[in-house]
A and B are shown apart, each in its own frame.
Chain A
Amino acid sequence: DIVMTQTPLSLSVTPGQPASISCKSSQSLLHSDGKTYLYWYLQKPGQPPQLLIYEVSNRFSGVPDRFSGSGSGTDFTLKISRVEAEDVGVYYCMQSIQLPWTFGQGTKVEIK
């Protein structure tokens, strides 16, 4: 299985300040079709996860543009340009290049 490792595991951010989460995979997520199958999810308290970013850097429908994803191969980053109170929760990266699909451990973001 591909192991997804996130850092940090927790993050406390002042509203309006940026935040960054790293995700590293144990194998390259670049497919022969040229696409990279790396996703970011946010699980707000008491809710199911919601898709934020697909294929490394594409924001899903309705996702604010303060969220951005970058990276390639095995190293990826989710950035929030200006954290808002509604951004609290646990962020997960996930890969789907190889079955079984696997998630990172999660990064808990809280507001200072």
Chain B
Amino acid sequence: QVQLQESGPGLVKPSQTLSLTCTVSGGSISSGDYYWSWIRQPPGKGLEWIGYIYYSGSTYYNPSLKSRVTISVDTSKNQFSLKLSSVTAADTAVYYCASATVTTCLDIWGQGTMVTVSS
């Protein structure tokens, strides 16, 4: 059973870059079955899908964030990462990583990590 765990700083200053990593265990990130995704949830609000990366490196980003988002994969470490540049208070949220398949979509989620943007 695949498990996911997010890690990274819980506090980021405005205008800086938010960087998070998701470690995949119990399966290979190189499996062609999965699209490795990031989703976020501002406090008390709903879910926003940020984007995904396929093991080959191909990506898709939500146009609402596209100019600031980079998702990358490190197959040697079985990890994928999120970078969000020029952050503001509006980027304060719980960030989740998740695996998605064509059939079951976002079927396995990490526990999430809270990131606060504040000086």
Contact = CB atoms under 8 A, between A and B. Distances in A.
A39 B109 CA distance: 15
A30 interface: no
Interface residues on A, range: 20 to 34
B47 A54 contact: no
A106 B46 CA distance: 7
Contacts, number: 54
Interface residues of A, dominant DSSP: loop
A106 B109 CA distance: 18
Nearest to B48: A103
Among B48, B103, B104, the one with the most A-chain Cβ atoms within 10 Å of its Cβ is: B104
A103 B47 contact: yes
Contacts of B49: 100-103
A105 B112 CA distance: 19
A92 B104 contact: no
Contact of B111 (A48, A55, A60, A94): A48
Interface string A64-104: 00000000000000000000000000001010100111111
A51 interface: yes
Contacts of B60: 99-100
B105 interface: yes
B110 interface: yes
A94 B106 contact: yes
Contacts of B47: 49, 92, 94, 103, 106
Contacts of A10: none
B80 interface: no
Nearest to B65: A100
Contacts of B51: 100
A94 B46 CA distance: 11
Nearest to A101: B49
Interface of B: 46-49, 51, 60, 62-64, 96, 98, 100, 103-107, 109-112
Interface of A: 1, 37, 39, 41, 47-51, 54-55, 60, 92, 94, 96, 99-106
